[in-house]
Structure 1
Amino acid sequence: MENLPMRDGLSLDSHFQPIYSLAHRRTVGMEALLRATEQGKALSPPQVYERYIRRDERAAMDLAVVRAHCQHFARTPAAQRWLFLNIDAMTLADLSYVQQLQQIIADSGIPPQLIVLEVLEQALELDAGLLEGVALLREQGCLLAIDDFGVGHSNLDRVCSLEPDFIKFDRHLLRSAVNQQRTRTLLSRLVRLMHEIGALVVVEGVESESDVVVALDSGCDLVQGYYVAMPALVPDRDEQITPRLDAKWDELMNRELLRRKLNRRQLELSRQAFVQTAIALMQGNEFRLAAQPMLNLPDVIRCFLLDQEGRQLGRNLNVRELSEVNRLRFAPLEDTTGAVWSRRSYFQHAIDQPGVLYMSEPYLSMTDTRTCVTLSMAIEIDEQMHVLCSDVMLPK
């Protein structure tokens, strides 16, 4: 690597790891990874960089590694693929280094539009120099990726200000999602949030079959990890990668079809019971008696009744009481008499289309923090418009 302030006996090289598009079923990018040896002993990138303490030395190292990766990548017979390059935020914050980086990219012959500069999320500071450096590289055509999002104290404001093209989720977020249902739900919602700010999502650290299933289920765009392909001078081709991922995709689809079938059956029973309850209410039956068809179903959590302004009439009719411990935990929210739910979609849709049964998207119940859907319908009781509601759990 030319212009690199190397110590004696230190040899540096680069390997590439595929970044794979689940929708396109092919590799769309390669992350360049530093490989180093000293007298035959392998060194990790941190072990190499710790030898260069001064800022100018570390920046020189950064630029030399980028130059070598670009030269190596330019020689590979790859199709149109992005080259993901790790770069220190301090390098991007200094315009003299940014100009050198621009020249390295221009000299490589790789279209700047295929260069993705990766910056660690926790290392970012939104100073004027960094924003200006990123803007200059963007003008050249380069793309920006924020790496390791979700580790430590992630800052959405910082992410939004930089307007990245890619967000790479930290592998620890995936590990947690594999082991905890709540984190798995959060992962999917984080993917949707990143899409809303205009970034594609890469899930890193896909190393096992369980990781693949969770990544596929999250709705992410791209995946990277040992299960997809190991880093190598010449990594696995799509002919090797695609069958591995297709097999897990088929497994997930079969599981999803079964889940949907169970959901449809469960929700059909809930709809039938809901209509019975609505008819009984319109016929003048007392609410607790009218709601029995709903309350008898195992997946129904509660029923409640709203007036035409969305204000709750009376308390919830709960199918079963919470345990004493959980009841005390949510005691401040327990009494919902007089609560106003007019901003909830289940009320707004029902009141806009009286007599039409509506089912909400899954959401977190404020009463006891369980995930549920709400069935709702606007009906007339004693010549006054009311909205009948019932919260229903979905199978996991």
Structure 2
Amino acid sequence: MKSKIDIKNELDNLVIDSKFQPIVSVVRKSVVGLDGISMGADLNGKFIPLNKLFYYAERSNCEIDLDRSIREKIVKEFNKICINDDKLLFITINMAVISKFVGSGIILDLVNKFNINPQNVVLEIYENNIENVEVLQQFINSYRSKGFLVSVTIGSGSANLDKISNVEPDIIKISESITKDIEMDFYKQEIFKSLVNLSKKISALIVADGITLEGQAIASMELGADMLQGNYFGQYEDINSDLLSSVEEKVHYIASQYKKYKTEQIEFEKSNHKKYEELLNNIIDQLSTIKESEFTTKLNDVIARYDVFECVYVLDESGMQVSDTITRFRNMLSQKSLIFKPAKKGTDHSLKKYYYFLENMGLNKYVTDPYISLASGNLCITISEKFKGINNKNYILCIDFNPNYINL
């Protein structure tokens, strides 16, 4: 059946289906771009999915002709609505096809045909296993020199980090494999933040893709996304002015919800800060009136009363631990306990951030970024605060918290 369709002779009869999904900026409260794709084409009343179209095209040796026809339909439809507009058009570039025709200038000719500024076109490089990196870079350098922007997607498939170094993208899309459940998954949040930090260093913008829920949208913005994309704002569909208007209503709603979230977050953090400040002061008051030899006994009482603490211990002014590490984790898995063990009395902490930043920066209190605790194997935040003992000796109280329980 497949061999009976000669796409080369049927190209002019194909009715190519093009769909668009909005890409939005909540900060600008607007649709800033459209991601154009094709689902396939209709041929004599029968719909042929895109993968089958390229199967037939490959057999007829006309992949580039089909690729060009699809891209022209996308650009043509985009231009009907976004003429003389500043919106970005995202076009998927399949390097498996394009690499055979590098230097032909077909994409530049196409945007010139429809009077679209190349600076408004984002070429999304699609190919996880690029065999000829030199051809890829030649293609990118050629089109970037004409003003085109280049994008890669991170989070699905293989060789993702290689793609960043090979492509040197202007835009990084973070895929649904990372943004799914990001509003509740701490590890995905940290991966997202790492990509945001990387993007800043290489002067790239971040698009959070796969957004289907309000919570995902707000979390992605909070983590540093510049733009959002996903079914929450609109599925891939035919482009029209009504589509853009309905999307902008959702963008304005998310903007108002994000503003509300930030207001509530500030109030929550103020309340939390006061709560933990009082808690630390209470513990220090108790420690400052007893002998150093009694610290461990007192800390056992403390850990029993406050279940938000993971570990508590005291250092002297040189960074040496003068109490036991008191922890709630009594029955750690044997295989885990070989790696993660609470520090013992006499351990030197002078190279730990919660000590040397406190000392070298002249601070009275220091709060670390989240890190893996060597005491428990869990993610934690350490708060260290100086205090004086009954003999006027300087000490440092260190408390490890689960980062989900505290915002300071």
TM-score when scaled to structure 2? 0.81
Q: Contact 1:167/1:199 (CA < 8 Å) preserved in 2?
A: yes
Q: Contact 1:195/1:201 (CA < 8 Å) preserved in 2?
A: no
Counterpart of 2:105 in 1: which secondary structure? helix
Q: Contact 1:145/1:168 (CA < 8 Å) preserved in 2?
A: yes
Q: What corresponds to 1:207 in structure 2?
A: 212
Measured at CA, do residues 197 and 284 of structure 1 come closer, stay the same or move farther in structure 2, by a change above 3 Å? Answer: same
Q: Contact 1:350/1:387 (CA < 8 Å) preserved in 2?
A: no
Counterpart of 2:128 in 1: which secondary structure? helix
Between stretches 137-146 and 358-367, larger displacement belongs to 358-367
Q: Contact 2:209/2:228 (CA < 8 Å) preserved in 1?
A: yes
Deviation at 1:84, TM superposition (A): 0.5
Deviation at 1:80, TM superposition (A): 0.7
2:317 is equivalent to residue 317 of structure 1: no
Q: Contact 2:213/2:232 (CA < 8 Å) preserved in 1?
A: yes
Between stretches 31-40 and 164-173, larger displacement belongs to 31-40
2:122 is equivalent to residue 112 of structure 1: no
1:27 is aligned, of 6, 31, 34, to 31
Q: What corresponds to 1:221 in structure 2?
A: 226
Deviation at 1:261, TM superposition (A): 4.7
Q: Contact 1:207/1:225 (CA < 8 Å) preserved in 2?
A: yes
Q: Contact 1:259/1:395 (CA < 8 Å) preserved in 2?
A: no
Q: What corresponds to 2:4 in structure 1?
A: none
2:16 is equivalent to residue 16 of structure 1: no
Aligned-partner residue type, residue 66 of structure 2 = M
d(CA) in 2 for partners of 1:61 and 1:315? 71
d(CA) in 2 for partners of 1:227 and 1:206? 6
2:352 is equivalent to residue 347 of structure 1: no
Deviation at 1:17, TM superposition (A): 1.7
d(CA) in 2 for partners of 1:42 and 1:376? 65
Q: Percentage identity across aligned positions? A: 20
d(CA) in 2 for partners of 1:183 and 1:104? 39
Aligned-partner residue type, residue 392 of structure 1 = F
Counterpart of 1:334 in 2: which secondary structure? coil
Counterpart of 1:117 in 2: which secondary structure? strand
Alignment deviations for residues 296-338 of structure 1 (CA, whole Å, 9 cap, x no partner):
32211112344666555564222x234x353652333215346
2:86 is equivalent to residue 83 of structure 1: no
Q: Contact 2:340/2:377 (CA < 8 Å) preserved in 1?
A: no
Structure 2 unaligned blocks of 5 or more? 1-6
Aligned-partner residue type, residue 245 of structure 1 = I
Q: What corresponds to 1:263 in structure 2?
A: 272
Counterpart of 2:24 in 1: which secondary structure? strand
Q: What corresponds to 1:162 in structure 2?
A: 167
Alignment deviations for residues 146-180 of structure 1 (CA, whole Å, 9 cap, x no partner):
13x21133432431332111111222322253674
Q: Contact 2:380/2:403 (CA < 8 Å) preserved in 1?
A: yes
d(CA) in 1 for partners of 2:178 and 2:56? 31
Structure 1 unaligned blocks of 5 or more? none
Aligned-partner residue type, residue 169 of structure 2 = P
Q: What corresponds to 1:63 in structure 2?
A: 68
Alignment deviations for residues 234-285 of structure 1 (CA, whole Å, 9 cap, x no partner):
133254332442354356446634642553244223431353266347x645
2:135 is equivalent to residue 132 of structure 1: no
Alignment deviations for residues 205-250 of structure 1 (CA, whole Å, 9 cap, x no partner):
2223444344344331211122102332213325433244235435
Deviation at 1:44, TM superposition (A): 3.4
Aligned-partner residue type, residue 10 of structure 2 = R
Q: What corresponds to 1:374 in structure 2?
A: 382
TM-score when scaled to structure 1? 0.83
2:254 is equivalent to residue 245 of structure 1: yes
d(CA) in 2 for partners of 1:142 and 1:251? 37
The count of aligned residue pairs is 389
Q: Contact 2:96/2:127 (CA < 8 Å) preserved in 1?
A: no
d(CA) in 2 for partners of 1:47 and 1:104? 25
Q: CA RMSD in A?
A: 3.3
Measured at CA, do residues 196 and 273 of structure 1 come closer, stay the same or move farther in structure 2, by a change above 3 Å? Answer: farther
Q: Contact 2:102/2:135 (CA < 8 Å) preserved in 1?
A: no
2:197 is equivalent to residue 192 of structure 1: yes
Counterpart of 1:93 in 2: which secondary structure? helix
Q: Contact 1:311/1:340 (CA < 8 Å) preserved in 2?
A: yes
d(CA) in 1 for partners of 2:273 and 2:202? 33
Q: What corresponds to 2:281 in structure 1?
A: 272
Deviation at 1:21, TM superposition (A): 0.9
Deviation at 1:118, TM superposition (A): 0.4
Counterpart of 1:47 in 2: which secondary structure? helix
Deviation at 1:46, TM superposition (A): 2.3
Measured at CA, do residues 168 and 77 of structure 1 come closer, stay the same or move farther in structure 2, by a change above 3 Å? Answer: closer
